[in-house]
Each structure stands twice: as C-alpha cells, then as structure tokens.
Amino acid sequence: MTEAAPRDDAILVRPLSGEEAHGRVAALAEVLIDCVAGGASVSFMAPLGREKAEAFWRGVAEGVARGERALLVAEDPANGETLGTVQLILGQPENQPHRADLSKMLVHRRARRRGVGAALMRAAEEAARAAGKTLLVLDTGSEEAERLYGRMGWTRVGVIPGFALHPDGRPCDTTFFYKNLA
C-alpha cells in the first residue's frame, strides 16, 4: 500500500526571529547540505561542508536580526523537523523600497513532492505583502522549480546561459522570474 503524500496544510510554515534562526543553524545547514548534494545550484559547490553551511546560516540569522531579510521555515508539525526554508531579501537600494528578492528556496529531498515548496512560496508572498513589498523577483537553475513558480503565477522573464555553476562545476543556465503582489 502506498502512503498518501501529506497535504500542505499538514506543513507548518513560519518566520524565524534572528534568535530563533541562530538556534536553528544546524537544522538549516542540514537542508542546505542536502540540496547541494542533490545538485541544486544555490551558490555553493560540492561537497559543502557543515562548517561552511553553518557559517552561511549564522550570517542569515544576523541579517534577520537586523531586519534586512525574512527567514521562513517549513516544519513537520508532528515532530518539528525542518523540511525546507526560503528567504526574502528586504534590504534593497533606496530607489527600490517596493521590491524584495526571494532567495534560497530549499526543500530537503526527503520532503519533496509534499507541497512544501508551494507552502513556502505562499508564506513568502504573504510575508512580503506584510512588509509592504509589491514586487518580488527570483532566479533559479532548476526546471522543477520553474514549473512550481509558473503554477504559482510567477512571470518568467528569461534565461541567462551559463550564469552560474552546478555544485559539480558544470555550467548552469539561470531563469529569472517576477511576481507583482499589488
């Protein structure tokens, strides 16, 4: 008998304060390390060591504490396990106060195809609205993520060939998207 995938209402998505983010560094590093090991082009090369991943998340936690970014996590409400995360870069140049960048949309491979990504995206859009943002932008090197963003009403702008590298060093095309929240 095949177990049915949990609905996304069985996933808790919530923002973390800077202090909470510092307390979650190890769990967030686990998600990042798993995504990089799975081939995700998310700014890191393989193999990604725990020390480097944890240093990244400590920096994110500091940015959250300063109000420069919002950090949301998806958790399994049954056990509190961190399933995924997404960030909003809120600190933008003074001529772009209406905009935020959606960044580091990460879902642990064992939690995929359970609605985690969609739940994170909806929560990020709501957090952006609450912060007074009316335009979101993001980029991705993942065809699977492209499909999710398209289903969620994001507009594909275009592709830059060879914009980044996959974790194994191969060139990675990057697709840019935006979404008006107004």
pLDDT over threshold 70, residue 2: no
Nearest to 79 by CA among 121, 120, 34, 110: 110
Domain ranges of the chain: 8-134
As its CATH architecture, domain 8-134 has: 3-Layer(aba) Sandwich (3.40)
Residues whose CB is less than 8 angstroms from the CB of residue 49 and which lie 6 or more positions away in sequence, other chains included: none
pLDDT in the model for residue 9: 59
pLDDT greater than 90 at residue 69: yes
Taking residues 53-66, report their average pLDDT. 98
Contact 91, 133 (CB under 8 A): no
Please give the average per-residue pLDDT across 157-163, as a whole number. 98
What is the model's pLDDT at position 47?
Answer: 98
pLDDT tens, residue by residue, 24-57: 999 999 999 999 999 999 999 999 999 999 999 9
Look at the block and give the residue holding tokens 């959250």: 64
